[in-house]
Structure 1
Amino acid sequence: MKTKFCLVIFICLGIFETAYPQAGVLDSTFGTNGIGAFPFPLGAGYSVLVQNDGNILVGGNTANNSCAIARFKPNGTLDSSFGTNGKVTYYIDGHCQNAAMALQQDGKIVFSSTSTLGFALLRFNSNGTIDNSFNGSGLVISNFNTEGYSDVSLPVVIQDDGKIIQGGNAHDNSGVDHFGLIRLNPNGSIDNSFGISGRVMTLIGNPLPALWSLAVQSDGKILAGGYSESQMAAPSCFALARYNINGSLDAANFSLDGKVTEYFGLGGASGASLDYDIANAMSFGHDGRILMSGGSLLAGDTNSPIPIMKFNIDGSLDNTFGINGKIRYFAEPASFEINSIAVQIDGKILLCGIASYDLSGNLNDYCVARFESNGEIDSSFGTNGIAYSTLDSAMDMGYSIAIQADNKILITGYSFTHGMFVARYLPGIVNGLNDVSSEAIQPILTYPNPIHDKAIIEYTLEQNEKLSILLTDIHGKTVQAFITNETRLAGIHEEELHLTESLAAGTYIISISNGKNSQGVKVVKY
């Protein structure tokens, strides 16, 4: 009975089709054979975002390490209405070697990079011009010490109130490494209500922590993910911290002290206990749990697998995922390093990164892998779950992944021959309904669809539940909470949901969660 009901919903929403191209192949309708124009030869793409209008932003650097953004039309050609012929560059001091971007609700682009003086944050108008209303110049430089130690910025996120959090590797005045976070007001000034003078520094795990990912939960709490190395590299572990809105560690609700460190193996420096794990990427699953991935090498490994850990919302490992919350997936002869995670609306997990074939690291493909929500490889994607691609015979690297409203998959990175690139892959069939092993919450029906200012959802509960009903964007970020932890009795329910007037047109997901499982359906706002 449940299967028949799901099928009816798929047909009503107009997203069930009888035939789909193979998942994990390049989309021939994008650019040339699935590859967009090459905007910056010898540059690299480190961040890819999809705007509500379907245009694609790629952020990275140029050959001289200037900050760089290119905007592409949905067909893979450069958008000449952005910057100069679709491209924007900004030279700070020649140290833009990593980059991250975030989009404000008003369409402005926040660009995180590094300078010799510390964290660098730029803001651009939607047309690519620098936004001089941001700190008076469009640029904010921040640091954590006064002794000249280099602070390296990496991720950036925007809170619902418009405040901007930038993260990375910070040093105190003794040169000790920390997770470092800084929060700015929307105008670029320091938010002194956060931490100490707008800054938070956290020791975590081994002596050399590295913060690579940031995310904001629906309740406003802040997640910082990365890894923590030793002085001799190994042992190295995944590292995760959660902060309250004011920047204090969430010691009451997340692990024992607001911090989590986890190894895949025995956590040793050498020999039979050798354990070197790094986490470059983090994302929320649609069940609200936390996914992390990067690289892993244990004693006895001849190749590096794809490693994934999944955590519950309290910081404990999710034992329903893989083996005790962990997966190490080998696909020899390649060794893998994952740099970005995205989660489809059906809960499947996409990862992009690098597949290496020699110890020098100079013979690489960029790759995309897909796993089921329970951690099993999705063999319908690419070749046995992994799509390998190459633009030249030497070095190709994937750094960032994003999912379009139509579920197509975007990758950006670096090619030895072509520099910055963007590629698009076909997803195959992607169900509009996200069913995460929940018998307690039966499938939901949403109408009308598309929606304008309100939507009506119908669902059935097998028992009394405390529910949250959320609206998220296609990247999983909560944009509106309709109800939070409210009790609903067993039976059939109908709820009228009113959207905020400022909500931009685009594709969103309405989800119902009881804290353990969730159901979601894709809707279009016009």
Structure 2
Amino acid sequence: MRRSTLLGLCLFVSACSTQPTPNVVETGPRVLGLVEVTAGEQATVKWVAPDADTLSALDLSSIPAGLDVQVVPTTIPYFDANGTRYLYSQFKVRNGKGSIPNSDLKNVTFLALDNTTTLGDTAIVSMRNAAGASITSVDVARSLRPTHRMDTSSVVQALGADLQLFSESDVSAFANSFPWGFGVRHCLDVNCDAYDKTLPGNPALNQFDGRVTLAFKTPITTSANTPKSASMLYLVVADNTTNARVVQSSEEQLTGTVAGKSTVPTGFDLVKLPGSGLPGGTQLGNVRVAGTASTTTTTLLTRPSLTASNATLQQGQAVTYAVSGSDPQGSALTYSVSSGTLPAGLTLNASTGAVSGTPSSYGTSSVTFRATNASGEFDEKIVTLTVTATPPSVTVGNQSLTQGQSANFTVTASDPQDLTLTYSLAQGSTLPVGLSLNASTGVVSGTPTVFGTFPVTFQVTNSGGGTTSKTVTLSVTATAPSITLGNQSLTQGQAANFNVTASDPQNLSLTYSLAQGSTLLAGLSLDGSTGVVSGTPSVFGTFPVTFQVTNSGGASATKTITLTITATPPSVTVGNQTLLQGQSANFTVTASDPQSLSLTYSLAQGSTLPAGLSLNGSTGVVSGTPSTAGTTSVTFQVTNSGGGTASKTITITVNSTSGLLDTTFGTGGKVTTPVGTSTDDARTLVMQPDGKLVAAGYTFNGSNFDFALVRYNSNGTLDTTFGSGGKITTPIGTSHDVAFALVVQSDGKLVAAGYTSNGTNDDFALVRYNSNGSLDTTFGTNGKVTTDFGMSADFAYALVVQPDGKLVAAGATYNGSNSDLALVRYNSNGSLDTTFGTSGKVTTPIGTSDDQAHALVMQPDGKLVAAGQASNGSNNDFALVRYNSNGTLDTTFGSGGKITTTSYGIAHALVMQSDGKLIAAGETYNGSTYDFALVRYNSNGTLDTTFGANGKVTPPVGTSQDRAYALVMQPDGKLVAAGYASNGTNYDFALVRYNSNGTLDTTFGTNGKVTTDFGMSGGIAFALVVQSDGKLVAAGYSYSPTYDFALVRYLP
């Protein structure tokens, strides 16, 4: 099939891409467009664009005649039967471009053309075999015969109405050719068995009411040569004046049938094919691919070829521009502009294609040039003709700049039409590194980093595209050296040395000097080769100096700095200091200046004084009261008015006052009080809510001992509102009366407990005093109560007051052989509480010998715990007994309510912690002497192994006998025991403070221990209280030279 035949058909019937003109009756087939269709596997549809020579998939609005053709998917688009392969594909057709009106189309046919003289020149583009490979081998017969409609059910239909034929009389351009093709049905039912041949125009966008089935049959040979799909070119035509045709093929002529029917359907014309001498029978019956090797061309149409290119012209300058073309048939060409206009001032020569003239305005024109041959065939090209405006004029001269210095100059330009200008560098031209050009203003700015001579071409373009260039020379001179030097601080009389550091970007040699008018101060000099300043300044002050550095290229740089010469520093004298926490301190940082300059005292940066101290900046005096113990390294700094500074680092040690005597109490922290004329001994001490202290014990009246009470003000002076001058003595029996315990009731009354003797027997004795020291006659008999257990020796050593006001005394009673623990509970009026024990009394044997209670505490649950000693006849052990509130033994405690702890000692004191644990304090024998001893018990009486060593702590205090008689617990949980320490000759008050785990509190006294000497044979502390301010007051006796009440108060 000759391609010229296709083009001729397009020209003969109408343009392939145009629509019919309304109200015009057309006769014969009307060409709708060219399309390539692949039938069989991978069916596709590709329209030929109206203005191109290549196939492409077009969008709906670009499809020729608005005929939208899409594939109807089929699972297996071929089948084999009786040595024949049937290929088929069904396509759906829609007559409409969307919003653009389309007329109805009748007898739409996909027409394939064949030439009678050249078998190889067929409509077949390509075929692929069952393996999917292209069938292109040489000398292999490959043929396709069109067959009647085939449904996707793989059944050949006998209707015969889809295979169409046009004769020479229908299309005169088809000389000696029988065009054939497949007609499009307009479906009237779902299976499209009922149909007509008219496609209505403009159906809904998704409504495809047309169907066309392309069906072929071919002999089955090898898999390599049996087609699986075939692609063919079709001319799509419509015929609104001719009936539908039924084709009778050569095979059907032999049988005398028309598509298996004996008659032609109503409304169809019968077309019979004449015979032919071509191989394979009639022309229609055998369409084949050439049996010679060839390359399929993509050129579908034979028409002129036009060459035209975009061009840039200049306003006001003559133009030389032309288009050219060639025609395959050698026909002369005529050139024209089919769309758009040439720029004003230009004309086109229709014979030569030359464009000439002078454009009078600038702008961009889109022009479509056309080359037409004698047959009316043409080719078109769209080009852009850009006319640039008349260029601007540029004014800029050569420039001299300096390397490393800011530069700024302007490329000046003017435009004859006052168009907007843009500034740039011509291609290949660059500015020296460091400079940039502002494209909007023409300003060149920046700092050049190189030196030398640089030719630069500037280009100025106006908004109409007109461009002018100007080349200038930029001369950049070398950069001066750079100087790195800061202000210098030197010291008068001390050697100085510093460098004026400079660098040169070109590594040129440098010379150092002082700028004109600048001088160095006396004693310093500058080395001109090295830049070193050295010497010893002889004066002090502040001096500005300007240094100058010059490179061998003559470029110079200067730098002004300040030389600050501080005066010769002063000398400082101050030694390490030892101060006491909480006590006023004062010492002086001494300094002298060689030039007698004024001095200022300060702390070096980062150095601080101990809290509570301050430094006088004018005098150097450090004063204040240090509040925190510890050692601090302090650096003092002394500066004279000339800036000379000297520093001195010392160590300030602030020793803790914890355990030191409180000198605000008594005399130096001690108070001794004679009550009688001979022996006076304080055995117990209480603090009243008002802070007054009451000590109780006994005094010798010349014949025997009497109860003795002394009340002190908070500063240790006697409270003269109490008794007689602060003292009270109370006889009870006819012999010795001794108080060992004292309590303060909530009403302020005082109750003392101990024993009274008639010379033969000893009994428990309690005396209650009013707050002024007078006997409370509502208690017992005139304020006194004695309790006899029946034998000879009953002693009360401890006393507690219950929340209900009842009193419980604890001590010992003699059973005829030895002593037992004894407890007595009294009603608030002094009568025996018969609900307790037996008629108010309880006796408890523990060991096999003497058992005594020396301390007593009441638990929050009302239970009572007594502590003291249990003896087996050879030695004593710590003993604790817990009683229920009715006096019976608490069998949940220890063993049947009793505990003994082997310690070879005696418990004299007992305290209870908030967690219910009990701590007893007293003495223990270490094999040669006695030491302080503390034992802590869990609430069930077992040893608390987290305390000390398995619950016990036994630190020695002195070098000989040490005994603890009192124990208090501080609010912070620390424990303080008081008693005495002996050096083998004398006794001293002794206090030891323990951490809550039993370790010594080394912040107290010396490693946790404090001893207080009263002189001569010393003294013993039997009682201890802790004040609300944390201070500790111990009470006992001192001997100097008689025994007197003694109190000592210690700082916390």
TM-score w.r.t. the length of structure 1 is 0.72
Matched, 1:258 2:897: yes
- 1:464 alignment counterpart: none
- 1:366 alignment counterpart: 989
- 1:244 alignment counterpart: 884
Instruction: Name the aligned partner's letter for residue 142 of structure 1.
Output: T
Matched, 1:85 2:694: no
Q: What CA distance in whole angstroms lies between the structure 2 residues aligned with 1:332 and 1:79?
A: 35
Instruction: Name the aligned partner's letter for residue 77 of structure 1.
Output: T
Matched, 1:61 2:698: yes
From 1038, 1042, 1045, the equivalent of 1:415 is 1038
**Offset of 1:153 from its aligned partner?**
1.4
Matched, 1:199 2:841: yes
The gaps in structure 1 that reach 5 residues or longer are 1-16, 265-275, 428-526
- 1:235 alignment counterpart: 875
Matched, 1:394 2:1005: no
Closer, same or farther: CA 46–314 of 1 in aligned 2, 3 Å: same
Question: 1:281-320 residue pairs with structure 2 within 5 A?
Answer: 281-298=909-926, 301-320=927-946
- 1:140 alignment counterpart: 785
**Offset of 1:307 from its aligned partner?**
1.2
Q: What CA distance in whole angstroms lies between the structure 1 residues aligned with 2:765 and 2:878?
A: 26
Deviates more, 1:372-381 or 1:280-289: 280-289
Q: What CA distance in whole angstroms lies between the structure 2 residues aligned with 1:220 and 1:32?
A: 42
Q: What CA distance in whole angstroms lies between the structure 2 residues aligned with 1:280 and 1:101?
A: 15
**Offset of 1:236 from its aligned partner?**
1.5
Instruction: Name the aligned partner's letter for residue 138 of structure 1.
Output: G
The gaps in structure 2 that reach 5 residues or longer are 1-625, 630-655
Matched, 1:342 2:930: no
Verify the 8 A CA contact 1:286 1:347 in the aligned structure 2.
Answer: no
Matched, 1:212 2:854: yes
Q: What CA distance in whole angstroms lies between the structure 1 residues aligned with 2:754 and 2:928?
A: 35
Q: What CA distance in whole angstroms lies between the structure 2 residues aligned with 1:177 and 1:410?
A: 33
SS at match of 2:930: coil
SS at match of 1:40: coil
Instruction: Name the aligned partner's letter for residue 256 of structure 1.
Output: S
Deviation per CA, 1:333-362, whole angstroms, max 9, x where unpaired? 24311100001000111000011122xxx6
From 23, 29, 32, the equivalent of 2:658 is 23
- 2:449 alignment counterpart: none
Matched, 1:109 2:750: yes
Question: 1:143-158 residue pairs with structure 2 within 5 A?
Answer: 143-145=788-790, 148-158=791-801
Q: What CA distance in whole angstroms lies between the structure 2 residues aligned with 1:84 and 1:364?
A: 31
**Offset of 1:97 from its aligned partner?**
3.7
**Offset of 1:37 from its aligned partner?**
4.8
- 2:9 alignment counterpart: none
Verify the 8 A CA contact 1:149 1:175 in the aligned structure 2.
Answer: no
Q: What CA distance in whole angstroms lies between the structure 2 residues aligned with 1:35 and 1:63?
A: 22
Q: Identical aligned pairs, as a percentage?
A: 35
Q: What CA distance in whole angstroms lies between the structure 1 residues aligned with 2:960 and 2:989?
A: 11
Deviation per CA, 1:498-526, whole angstroms, max 9, x where unpaired? xxxxxxxxxxxxxxxxxxxxxxxxxxxxx
Q: What CA distance in whole angstroms lies between the structure 1 residues aligned with 2:690 and 2:861?
A: 28
SS at match of 2:821: strand
Verify the 8 A CA contact 2:732 2:784 in the aligned structure 1.
Answer: no
Q: What CA distance in whole angstroms lies between the structure 1 residues aligned with 2:946 and 2:886?
A: 32
Instruction: Name the aligned partner's letter for residue 297 of structure 1.
Output: Y
**Offset of 1:98 from its aligned partner?**
4.5
SS at match of 1:62: strand
Closer, same or farther: CA 164–387 of 1 in aligned 2, 3 Å: same
Q: What CA distance in whole angstroms lies between the structure 1 residues aligned with 2:695 and 2:906?
A: 25
**Offset of 1:159 from its aligned partner?**
0.5
Verify the 8 A CA contact 2:957 2:981 in the aligned structure 1.
Answer: no
Q: What CA distance in whole angstroms lies between the structure 2 residues aligned with 1:330 and 1:175?
A: 35
Verify the 8 A CA contact 1:205 1:237 in the aligned structure 2.
Answer: no
Verify the 8 A CA contact 1:350 1:370 in the aligned structure 2.
Answer: yes
Deviation per CA, 1:99-119, whole angstroms, max 9, x where unpaired? 210111000000002112400
> Number of aligned pairs?
389
Q: What CA distance in whole angstroms lies between the structure 2 residues aligned with 1:383 and 1:212?
A: 29
Question: 1:503-518 residue pairs with structure 2 within 5 A?
Answer: none
**Offset of 1:332 from its aligned partner?**
4.8
Matched, 1:131 2:751: no
Instruction: Name the aligned partner's letter for residue 260 of structure 1.
Output: I
Verify the 8 A CA contact 1:46 1:60 in the aligned structure 2.
Answer: yes
Matched, 1:225 2:850: no
**Offset of 1:18 from its aligned partner?**
4.2
- 2:806 alignment counterpart: 163
- 2:169 alignment counterpart: none
**Offset of 1:22 from its aligned partner?**
1.1
**Offset of 1:60 from its aligned partner?**
1.0
Q: What CA distance in whole angstroms lies between the structure 2 residues aligned with 1:213 and 1:335?
A: 21
Q: What CA distance in whole angstroms lies between the structure 2 residues aligned with 1:43 and 1:120?
A: 19
**Offset of 1:39 from its aligned partner?**
4.1
Question: 1:176-195 residue pairs with structure 2 within 5 A?
Answer: 176-195=818-837
Q: What CA distance in whole angstroms lies between the structure 1 residues aligned with 2:844 and 2:1000?
A: 35
Deviation per CA, 1:241-290, whole angstroms, max 9, x where unpaired? 00001000001x212300001113xxxxxxxxxxx211111111343311
- 2:209 alignment counterpart: none
Q: What CA distance in whole angstroms lies between the structure 2 residues aligned with 1:57 and 1:305?
A: 28
SS at match of 1:388: strand
Question: 1:456-467 residue pairs with structure 2 within 5 A?
Answer: none
TM-score w.r.t. the length of structure 2 is 0.36
Q: What CA distance in whole angstroms lies between the structure 2 residues aligned with 1:346 and 1:209?
A: 34
Q: What CA distance in whole angstroms lies between the structure 2 residues aligned with 1:308 and 1:357?
A: 21
Q: What CA distance in whole angstroms lies between the structure 1 residues aligned with 2:959 and 2:812?
A: 33
Instruction: Name the aligned partner's letter for residue 419 of structure 1.
Output: D
Question: 1:476-495 residue pairs with structure 2 within 5 A?
Answer: none
Q: What CA distance in whole angstroms lies between the structure 2 residues aligned with 1:119 and 1:324?
A: 37
Verify the 8 A CA contact 1:168 1:210 in the aligned structure 2.
Answer: yes
- 2:687 alignment counterpart: 50
Matched, 1:277 2:905: yes
Instruction: Name the aligned partner's letter for residue 388 of structure 1.
Output: T
Matched, 1:323 2:949: yes
Closer, same or farther: CA 278–260 of 1 in aligned 2, 3 Å: same
CA RMSD of aligned residues (A): 1.6
Instruction: Provide runs of 4+ in structure 1 moved above 4 Å.
Output: none
- 2:711 alignment counterpart: 71
Q: What CA distance in whole angstroms lies between the structure 2 residues aligned with 1:325 and 1:286?
A: 17
Verify the 8 A CA contact 1:205 1:239 in the aligned structure 2.
Answer: no
